[in-house]
Amino acid sequence: MILVTGGAGFIGANFVLDWLANHDESVINLDKLTYAGNLQTLASVADDPRHIFVRGDIGDSALVDRLLAEHRPRAVLNFAAESHVDRSIHGPEDFVQTNVLGTFRLLESVRGYWSKLPEADKSAFRFLHVSTDEVYGTLSASDPAFTETNRYEPNSPYSASKAASDHLVRAWHHTYGLPVLTTNCSNNYGPYHFPEKLIPLMIVNALAGKPLPVYGDGMQVRDWLYVRDHCSAIRRVLEAGTLGETYNVGGWNEKPNIEIVKTVCALLDELQPRADGKPYAEQISHVTDRPGHDRRYAIDARKLERELGWKPAETFDTGIRKTVQWYLANQEWVANVQSGGYRDWVARQYGDRAGAGA
Ligand code: NAD
Ligand code: DAU
C-alpha cells in the first residue's frame, strides 16, 4: 500500500493510473479537490478496489494520522500542491498554506507514524516529495542546465513555496532521520493537464477560435517532459533512490514558448484544420509579460540516468503529437473542466466522500 497526495491533479492522477496499470499494490489517494483536482480523470479506476480515494487536506493532521494508522502504507508520495505560477502572483496565500504549512504538517504526521514502525518496516519506508526545477531560479542563455548542486534561488511566490517545502523535507531527514527522497522536475505536458497551463490552454483556445496569449516576446525557454516519463522517473526513484538525495528529472527538451505555440498550431492545422482553411497561428497574440518571469529553465538529468538508469520514453515530437491527439479525442473532459461540470460528476460518483465544489 502506498499513499499518494494530490492524486486527482494532473501529474498525481497520471501517476495513479500508471501505478494501477503496472502494480498490484493498492493506492490511498488523498486530495483536497481544489479547482485543480478532478476525479473524472480517475473514472476508469473509480470501482477498482485497489484505489481508495479520500477527499481531504494534507494539512489536516487528524485525518492524515488516521489514514496512516488504518492503511499502514510503505511509502508516502507528496504531489499535493498549488501549482500555477500566475495564480501564485495574484494570490500567494494558498501557496504558503498548502505548499509550506501543508507539507510541514504532512511531514510531522508521517514522522509520527514512521517512528513507531517495527524496525524492518521503518527502514523500508519512503517519503517521496515531488518538486520542481523552478526552485533553482532562472538561467541565462549561456548557463549550463540546472544540476542538483545548483543554489536555490526561487523567484515567484510558487517557486518560493516549493523551495520552502524542499527545505523542510531535507531538514526532516537530517534532523529526524526520516527516509526522504526529492525529485525536481521540469515542465510536464500530456493528458489531463488543466487548461490554465501553456500547452493545454493553447490547444483549447485554438479550437475555440480564441486568441493564443503569448507572454512578452515568447522567447522564454522551458524544458518539456511528457508526464508519463515523469511518472516513470518517480517510480524509479521510489524503488532505488538513495535516501536524502535529490534527483533532477527532465528530457533535454528546451524550447522557447513561441516555438511550442507554433508547434501546437501546426499539429492542429494537420489534425483538425480550421473551417476557413487559415492557419491557427493567426490567433497568436503577444500580451503583457508575467511579472518576474523567469527567462530560461533547463534540467540536467544525468544523475538520474547515471545512478538509477532512468531514461524518458518520449521525444518532444512524439509526446506533443500524442498530447494534441488526446485533447482532440477528449473534448468532453475539457468541456467539463471549463464548465465546472466535473464537480457534479464527482458528487454523483462519490457523494459525501468527495462532495461537490472545492
Ligand atoms: P495540479 O495543480 O494539477 O494538481 C494538484 C493537486 O493537489 C490537485 O488535485 C489538488 O486538488 C491537490 N491539492 C491542492 N492542495 C491540496 C491540499 N492542501 N491537500 C490535498 N490535496 C491538495 O498540479 P500538478 O501539475 O499535477 O503538480 C503536482 C506536483 O508536481 C506539484 O507538487 C508540483 O509542484 C509538481 N511539479 C509540477 C510540474 C508541472 O509541470 N506541472 C513540474 C514539476 C513539478
Ligand atoms: O518548471 C516546472 C513548472 O512548470 C512547475 O513547477 C509548475 O507547477 C508548472 O505550472 C510549470 O510552470 P510554468 O510557469 O513554466 O508553466 P506555465 O504553463 O504556466 O507557463 C509555461 C510558459 O509559458 C511560461 O514561460 C509562461 C508562458 N505562458 C503561459 C501561459 C499560461 C504564456 O506565454 N502564455 C500563457 O497563457
| Ligand 2 neighbourhood includes 113 CB (under 6 angstroms) | no
Residue 141 falls within a domain, yes or no? yes
Pick the catalytic residue: 31, 134, 223, 254?
134
Which ligand is the nearest neighbour of the Cα of 138? Answer: 2
Residue 321 falls within a domain, yes or no? no
3-class SS at 132?
Answer: strand
Domain total for the chain? 1
Per-residue pLDDT, 94? 98
Ligand 2 centroid to Cα of residue 257, in Å, is 9
Domain that holds residue 310: 2-187+226-250+294-314+341-356
Residue 147 falls within a domain, yes or no? yes
Residue 238 falls within a domain, yes or no? yes
What pTM was computed for the model? 0.97
Ligand 1 centroid to Cα of residue 358, in Å, is 15
C-alpha atoms less than 13 angstroms from C-alpha of 200 in its C-beta half-sphere: 23
Q: Is 134 a catalytic residue?
A: yes
Residue 70 falls within a domain, yes or no? yes
| Ligand 1 neighbourhood includes 199 CB (under 6 angstroms) | no
Residue among 78, 79, 85 whose CB has most ligand 2 atoms within 8 A, to mutate: 85
Which ligand is the nearest neighbour of the Cα of 204? Answer: 2
Residue bearing cell 488516521? 66
Pick the catalytic residue: 57, 133, 229, 294?
133
| Ligand 1 neighbourhood includes 7 CB (under 6 angstroms) | no
Residue bearing cell 491527439? 325
Q: In terms of Cα–Cα distance, which of 153, 182, 31, 41 is closest to 98?
A: 31
Residue 54 falls within a domain, yes or no? yes
* DSSP per-residue string spanning 23-57: -SS-EEEEE---TT--GGGGGGGTT-TTEEEEE--
Per-residue pLDDT, 356? 32
**CATH code of residue 233:** 3.40.50.720
Per-residue pLDDT, 352? 52
Residue 126 falls within a domain, yes or no? yes
Per-residue pLDDT, 353? 53
Mean pLDDT by groups of 10 residues along the chain of 358 residues: 98 98 96 96 96 98 98 99 97 98 99 98 98 98 98 98 99 98 98 97 97 98 98 98 98 97 98 98 98 98 98 98 98 90 70 43
Residue 279 falls within a domain, yes or no? no
Q: Is 25 a catalytic residue?
A: no
